[in-house]
A = this chain, B = another copy of it.
Amino acid sequence: MSSIPPQPPVKRGRRKQARPGELLEAALDLFVEKGYAATRVEEVAARAGVSKGTLFLYFPSKEELFKAVVRENISGRFGEWEQTLASFTGTCSEMIEYAFSAWWERIGSTKANGLGKLMVSEANNFPEIAQFYRTEVVLPGQELIRRIFRRGIESGEFRDIDLEYAIYLVQAPLMQLDLMNSSRVICVVNPDNFDPHKYLKMHADNLLAGLRPRAA
């Protein structure tokens, strides 16, 4: 419609408009790293390069900041993802493998990783936001998996399994990887020499082998 006006050269790289975003980014880092309670708003503000007072200009309370962080980082990535899978041409096994690597690229290896841990930790303190996470992340994710499985079963590529429990075959390794990245020291055998790709490959591989139709 209208022609795009020439963008003014970005001065200083920190415009006022960027403030909330910088705060959210800093908050995400700290919430994931230290948990909700142990994160002090002053620290968030400091990391975003503003004063404590300024933070409260954008977010009315620590609680709202937290909710905003969660919302910001899980917003509608699934629509796009679903589309990709819908138009995917290939076997269901390839779809599963693709889903694993896509998860890693879009979630596991990004800032969004650790959100799972955060939700697990804080779900009881923030039921509302937990519900939001469930609706926006968990259920759509599970639906994605369910659809792939259903297709695989119908096409005879996978054996006939209880869909509602099969979901967790995919979810469990991804969730564990989320937690591992947050507190590697707890779960990982050799924290300094852990390769997430190998981890995912192993899981996908064994999962798919197990899913093959069995001889009577």
Chain A: residues with CB nearer than 8 A to chain B? 33-38, 117, 119-125, 127, 130-131, 133-134, 138-139, 142, 161-162, 164-169, 171-173, 175-176, 179, 182-183, 185-187, 189-190, 198-199, 202-203, 205-212, 214
A124 proximity list for chain B (CB < 8 A): 33-35, 38, 182-183
Cα A167 to Cα B171 in complex, Å, equals: 17
A51 smallest CB distance to B (angstroms): 15
A7 smallest CB distance to B (angstroms): 26
Cα A207 to Cα B134 in complex, Å, equals: 27
Cα A168 to Cα B172 in complex, Å, equals: 10
Candidates B37, B120, B168, B210; contact of A37 at CB < 8 Å: B37
Q: Is there contact, CB below 8 Å, between B162 and A202?
A: yes
Cα A57 to Cα B123 in complex, Å, equals: 30
A34 proximity list for chain B (CB < 8 A): 124-125
Cα A166 to Cα B173 in complex, Å, equals: 12
A134 smallest CB distance to B (angstroms): 6
A210 proximity list for chain B (CB < 8 A): 205-210
| Contact (A168, B175) CB under 8 Å given A186-B130, A189-B142 | no
Candidates B172, B182, B185, B202; contact of A131 at CB < 8 Å: B185
| Contact (A169, B203) CB under 8 Å given A35-B125, A125-B38 | yes
A122 proximity list for chain B (CB < 8 A): 35
Candidates B38, B139, B162, B203; contact of A198 at CB < 8 Å: B162
A175 proximity list for chain B (CB < 8 A): 172, 175-176, 179, 187
A161 smallest CB distance to B (angstroms): 7
Closest to A169 in B: B206
A187 proximity list for chain B (CB < 8 A): 120, 138, 171, 175
15 of the cross-chain contacts (CB-CB < 8 Å) are: A33-B124, A35-B121, A36-B37, A117-B120, A120-B121, A120-B183, A123-B183, A138-B186, A165-B199, A169-B202, A171-B187, A172-B173, A172-B176, A206-B211, A208-B210
Cα A175 to Cα B138 in complex, Å, equals: 17
